[in-house]
Structure 1
Amino acid sequence: MISLRIGRRDPLPQRERHKLGAFIGVFTPSILTILGVIMYLRFGWVVGNVGLVGALVIVVIANLITLITALSVSAVASNMDVGVGGAYYLISRSLGLEIGAAIGLPLYLSQALSVTLYSFGLAESLRIVWPEVPLQPTTLVVIFAVTLLSTRGASIALRSQLPVMAAIGLSLAVFFVGGSSGGHVPGSFLDVGGPLGFWAVFAVFFPAVTGIMAGVSLSGDLRDPQKSIARGIIAAVLVGFAVYLLVPIVLAFNADRESLIRDSLVWTKIAIWPALIFPGLWGAILSSAVGSILGAPRTLQALAMDRVAPRFLGRASARGAGPLAAILFSGAIAMAAVGLGNLNAVARVLTMFFLTTYGMINLVAGLEKLVGDPSYRPTFNIPWWVSFAGAFGCLAAMWLMHPLACVAAIVIELSLWLALRRRAVKATWGDLRRGLWMAGLRYALIRLKGTPEDPRNWRPNILVFAGEVERRPELVRFASWFSQNRGIVTVCDLIEGDLVEGDIAIDERREQMNQFLDVRGYLAFGEVHVVHDFEDGVVSVSQANGIAGVASNTLMFGWSRDHERMASYFRIMRQVSRLHKSMILLRHNPRNMLARTKHIDIWWGGLQQNGDLMLLLAHLLSLNHEWSNAKITIKSIASNELVQAETERRLAVMIPQVRIKAEQKVRLRSDDRPVIDTIHEESRDAEVVFLGLAQPDPGEEAEYAGRLAKMMEGLPTVVLVKNSSMFAGDLV
């Protein structure tokens, strides 16, 4: 497994950083991508298929989703120091590097291949006036030109777009002037009699309004990204919305349905000067290609800075013209894609990648607001439910546009996420996920508080006092087996000393413990506590352990050959039993552990009510895959035949009732043979033996420990159990 740690370095040279304002850096690339080729060549087709009212409804729905996304982007961006990478940066710094990269890598590929798509579109549109133009060579020339322009820096490339914006504005002006005198009146404003349905037409139109990320992608080149992103993209969305509300009205009142559906150049029939439409059309396509070639390398640069992509791609040009290696690499990908020919099928999936990005941005903004981390203090606020509505709108649009492409995009991104998790890519920044889990935990604890405790819901939350856990891993292994992913295991290293005067590296020790537990695959939490006295320390830690009603209910120790240490355990057991905390002592003797069929013996008897907890722990042990074929046998020793028959009867009734697969065996006590010998004879071939603990009288703890040590001599692994639960006797 490869482990990478990521920092926040910003490699842009000082003279290139923070040069662009909201108009040039955000509004210009965004509006030029929004007012693109679909507006010129497909808007008439939209009106012809669904009628004027249907077209306006499509415009409103599509722009509403885009406006919500713009608001979400603005909110998230106003809460952080936005670096290089645009949408990828915002997502990765909120939802974590794995999710950010799973979205960012397809986003980058979509941006790079969009250069090819727009260049193809420009080459095809040139055939309107030059039918013999060679398609693929012209596409390569366009890609080479926009790539060369982008190497001069974002500022120069975007300022060169101002004449394009003027050409688009002029083409809109001649279109509106020409259409103002139109005499055609639509037969029906609700005329939807075209060959395609509403949502099929919506799918064709929606990519026209998904250009807001063109400006966000240049976040690393902005003078003040927190303010510029919000001002630029919201202005672009509102201007685009206004234009898109006017265009279908002009089209509907100046052309019949047949012309709108079949004539992609219907604009030229309406404009007062048709020739001025073409510069706007070509400029719109070219500006979209420039926006993509500016955005793609910066997304790749951010991925390289986070070591998701090769690091050399994150290096900026020495003369301050942006990430030169990433620009050239992106240009090369775009040129290579020319050989694929028709990219229409690929374009559907690319659109899905853009939409998953927009949906994820909405999700980030909604979660940030809902979780309410104290660090989330955006200067631009939006209600959480509005952002969630935008996320749902993006997902719905993906499905309605093309279900198969939607599923393909999500599967690809999920696969990337799983691959990145396996690489164990780590980031040094905090993100939203911890706050999200904390919010969920708080909600669960509040709900749990109002739920009464009941024996059927009891599960072992084990507090293991293991000392140096590296020397006693078997304690944690058995605790994990007993919890069986149903309880919480906490491993405590109790250090006797002075917290103030002692030189005790608590944080380092805790980190060592957690690393050891993670490497061994134990689902446990490491804790380090400094105490003046061992016994008092154990009792204090036992009382303090837990959070909001979820506390440890079982203490676990390893057996010690030192009888005085064992005596202290029994004195602790007396105190914690008043807290309704049970106790487990493990005497580990790992013989026969490799047997194919393991045997678990439970010695049932006495008046301590330990049997139900022993049976429950044995059952939980058998649920682990290492013990999947284990055979549980409840064994007992009867003083006479009458007691033997009664014990067998009670066990025969109990075992089916508790629904635990177990057998029983009741032996008669022999007058000339000690009980210990009978236990040894019956359990010598078992892998684990469960025995109950009694509470010794004060002052007799060491003597009791000696008797137990003698009884366990020659036995395999022994689990000694004292059931002090408030539900003792009812746990099974």
Structure 2
Amino acid sequence: MNKPGKTLQEKVEGDASEIKQKYGTFAGVFVPTLLTILGVILFLRQGWVVGNAGLLGSWIIVSIAFLIVTFTALSMSCITTNIRIKAGGAYSIISQSLGLEVGGSVGIPLYLAQTLAITMYIFGFREGWQYIFPDHPALLVDFLVFGILFLIAFVSAKLAFRIQYLILAIIIAALVSVAASIFTADMQHEILWWGNYPGAPENNFEGISFWVVFAVFFPAATGIMAGANMSGELKNPKKSIPIGTIGAIVISFIVYMGAGYWLSKIATTEELVSNYNIMIDKAFWSPAVLGGLLGATFSSALASIVGAPRILQALGDHKIFPKGDIFSELAKNGEPRNAIIMTGIIVLLTLLLRDLNTVAPLITMFFLITYMMINLVVFIEQRMNMISFRPTFPIPKFVSAIGALGCLITMFIINAVFGLVAMGLVVGAYIYLSNRKLDVPYGDMRSGLFVSIAEWAAKRVSMLPEDNERAWKANILVPVRSSRELRGSFSLIQNLVYPRGSVSLIGISDTEEDDLTESLINFSSSFLRENTYARWSFIKSNNFQDAVLYSIQTLRGSFFSPNILFLRLLHDETYDEEISNIMANARMNNMGIQLYIEDTVAQLGRTASINVWMRDKGPDWDLDMDLGNIDLALLMAYKLKINWDAKLRIVTVVEESEVENAYNYLENMLEVARLKDAEPHVEIGSFQEALENMPRADVDIFGLPEEPDLKNLRSYVEMTRSACVFVADSGKENILA
């Protein structure tokens, strides 16, 4: 019999192996999530919560905690029905939305938190075990429990899920034993609706606050990712994660609310706050509750030791850390054996510490940061209104906002110091991963996010006055005939715009030149590698002059509209007339101009010194906001000075009688322009003599005349023995702004 073909959804979801995708909603999500939530807090701490807060106060605490995780679960359900979620659970969700850098910065601490949680669950199991067998050595119990957990996880997740059915039965028996006590005569205590918050035995009942009690209870509501961590091994994660997670949360909430009522009726306030084993002592059959306690801690550890390696496997798949791909390897049965071994080693080492109380709050912080990021992902997606955001499980917009805010507030309620430390570690991981320049295997919503921000900014900018001199930055348009001429000016252009400007490369040729197009792509990539924004386009034209004019006019309406035209003046006169016409058109279109003439011998030299030449301002030497055709030249020189770490001289040539006035003017101008590191320099005599006698620079910058004699401009290179740039203002620059 032929096997049925794949459904359309299976084809879209990808060709994951049958070995990996094999768990349904109940086994893969509902049971591990339920068992993780119904844990130690239920059996050992909820009585203390009720004793301190009273029944109404405890219900409020339970409701707030479950409201936060429910909203997070709703956000997670929403986003998982909008993406093809891969292995790694929360890491996969965040990575596919905000990129590998953000996903990895959260995924690494999430993996460590999940792994350290295994150790804490083992310690919790040992405490329950020693309640029965107080003489058993603690270290031996810990190692034996770890060995059993590791063996189960190493053999197969399928075996772990089968064992969880047994544990589920034990916990159900424990809850039945609790409920059965209703029929005894013990439930006769009067309900205390609002408690007095006496505290705990550890602080000699010196009193405690509502939020401290909330902080103690909140970890009970975490664990909602236990099923999502198995995302890579679910038959249908889009269906299983929402149904399984939300179903487990609803059942758990009912259990906690019911247990709170039972505890308020079964014991006095004094018993509740002083006896952590009150549920065991007051149950109809105590061994069943004790079994539930052991089962809860064991199942939580089992869910973590099965889920944590899946996160590490996903991190390894994307090479989040060096040599991490070793953890992405799978055994023949689909198990991430290397990731399981690494997780086991970490747990084994932490077992030797014997006490994780100092880092326990940090573990909770990492979970909360993960939950917050999931809510934030949905919050951003909802407000971007992108057509790709079409979840089959939509939620109201306020859900993700409240979920994110609730997680953030809860972090600082539980422990503000650890909250800041956790966020600092995540930010540090993000910086590290950003510098690694990871290879992203899939698209994410970052481009859409940045486009949305850019659209918002563009609309706001369009409402502002056009000539905003304080917001000026260099956006250079570079027409290109050949890649050879661009190579010669790449360094200069890059340093003229870095770090906030942009470069627009326009290739112009009368044929479809693949070499020129490839060069434009390569140069654009080179600018980007130098953290300089660059874009390129190709125009097929047999008229270079007209193509440049059309480019100026077309790009004028763009958001990053070019404000400077960069031209090279070659040493032969072939294109002189064309260059003159292009510059005239640029002036008519209010474009600044930079005409570069290369020194074929020295080129840009050591990029250590810059001379800017100013016309003398005599006889009045008055400084006003209009400096003439020098603003762009000074702004350009300042950019080069900063990026080259070069020496900057501002030069003017005057008669001997005007030297003092010239120095006063230059010093005053430099102070007003906030160019205090620049050196004023006054030359005496003729302009040509000054060109030849002036201290040498690597580049000399001059104002560009209205009708320049290009042959005469070439002679400046010989006289200064340096590269020269002739600059014309557009009228929108102001060095004094």
TM-score > 0.5, shorter chain as reference: yes
How far the C-alpha of 1:13 sits from its partner, in A, is 7.3
Q: Deviations over 1:23-67 (max 9, x none)?
A: 111010000000111100000111122222221111111101100
Partner amino acid, structure 2, of 1:301: Q
How far the C-alpha of 1:467 sits from its partner, in A, is 4.9
1:437 match: 450
Change (3 A) 1:592 1:306: closer
1:576 match: 586
CA distance in 2 between counterparts of 1:37 and 1:396 reads 24
Which of the numbers 230, 250, 260 marks the counterpart of 2:272?
Answer: 260
The answer on 1:183 being equivalent to 2:212 is: no
1:57 match: 60
Q: Deviations over 1:479-526 (max 9, x none)?
A: 34444535x23141523034xxx363676444311332245x261404
Secondary structure of 2:56 counterpart: helix
How far the C-alpha of 1:425 sits from its partner, in A, is 1.8
The answer on 1:68 being equivalent to 2:71 is: yes
Change (3 A) 1:255 1:489: same
CA distance in 2 between counterparts of 1:491 and 1:291 reads 54
| Preserved CA contact (<8 Å) 2:616 2:662 | no
CA distance in 1 between counterparts of 2:80 and 2:310 reads 17
1:398 match: 411
Percentage identity across aligned positions? 32
CA distance in 1 between counterparts of 2:534 and 2:550 reads 18
1:243 match: 255
Written as runs of structure 1 = structure 2, the 5 A alignment for 1:51-450 is 51-179=54-182, 182-187=187-192, 189-194=194-199, 195-308=207-320, 310-318=324-332, 320=333, 322-450=335-463
Size of the alignment, in residue pairs?
702
1:680 match: 691
Q: Deviations over 1:182-220 (max 9, x none)?
A: 111135524334322222211111111101110001111
1:587 match: 597
CA distance in 2 between counterparts of 1:99 and 1:82 reads 16
2:492 match: 478
CA distance in 2 between counterparts of 1:421 and 1:477 reads 25
| Preserved CA contact (<8 Å) 2:362 2:419 | yes
1:721 match: 727
Partner amino acid, structure 1, of 2:573: H
CA distance in 1 between counterparts of 2:267 and 2:733 reads 85
| Preserved CA contact (<8 Å) 2:211 2:413 | yes
How far the C-alpha of 1:599 sits from its partner, in A, is 4.3
More moved, 416-425 vs 427-436: 416-425
Change (3 A) 1:295 1:505: farther
Change (3 A) 1:427 1:596: closer
Partner amino acid, structure 2, of 1:276: A
Partner amino acid, structure 1, of 2:61: I
CA distance in 2 between counterparts of 1:453 and 1:12 reads 54
How far the C-alpha of 1:335 sits from its partner, in A, is 2.5
Change (3 A) 1:315 1:597: closer
CA distance in 1 between counterparts of 2:468 and 2:434 reads 38
How far the C-alpha of 1:466 sits from its partner, in A, is 5.1
Partner amino acid, structure 2, of 1:347: A
Change (3 A) 1:705 1:544: same
CA distance in 2 between counterparts of 1:592 and 1:13 reads 56
Change (3 A) 1:50 1:608: closer
More moved, 256-265 vs 470-479: 470-479
CA distance in 1 between counterparts of 2:682 and 2:331 reads 84
Secondary structure of 1:563 counterpart: coil
How far the C-alpha of 1:300 sits from its partner, in A, is 1.4
Change (3 A) 1:655 1:225: closer
Change (3 A) 1:396 1:240: same
Q: Deviations over 1:254-289 (max 9, x none)?
A: 211211111111113332222321221111111111
Partner amino acid, structure 1, of 2:345: A
| Preserved CA contact (<8 Å) 2:654 2:662 | no
1:529 match: 538
Secondary structure of 1:527 counterpart: strand
Q: Deviations over 1:525-578 (max 9, x none)?
A: 041313312111111122223664441111011221121313211101111212
| Preserved CA contact (<8 Å) 2:499 2:531 | no
| Preserved CA contact (<8 Å) 1:27 1:215 | yes
CA distance in 2 between counterparts of 1:81 and 1:545 reads 38
Change (3 A) 1:547 1:64: farther
Change (3 A) 1:453 1:324: same
Partner amino acid, structure 2, of 1:534: F
1:710 match: 715
How far the C-alpha of 1:470 sits from its partner, in A, is 6.5
How far the C-alpha of 1:384 sits from its partner, in A, is 3.9
| Preserved CA contact (<8 Å) 1:689 1:717 | yes
List gaps (5 residues or longer) in structure 1.
Answer: 1-8, 670-674
How far the C-alpha of 1:166 sits from its partner, in A, is 2.1
Partner amino acid, structure 2, of 1:351: T
Change (3 A) 1:650 1:412: closer
Secondary structure of 1:713 counterpart: helix
Partner amino acid, structure 2, of 1:271: A
Q: Deviations over 1:359-399 (max 9, x none)?
A: 11111121122223322221111234421321222122122
Q: Deviations over 1:695-726 (max 9, x none)?
A: 33xxxx8xx22222234422122211122x24
2:3 match: none
CA distance in 1 between counterparts of 2:334 and 2:724 reads 71
CA distance in 2 between counterparts of 1:83 and 1:655 reads 59
List gaps (5 residues or longer) in structure 2.
Answer: 1-11, 200-206, 619-625
How far the C-alpha of 1:658 sits from its partner, in A, is 4.4
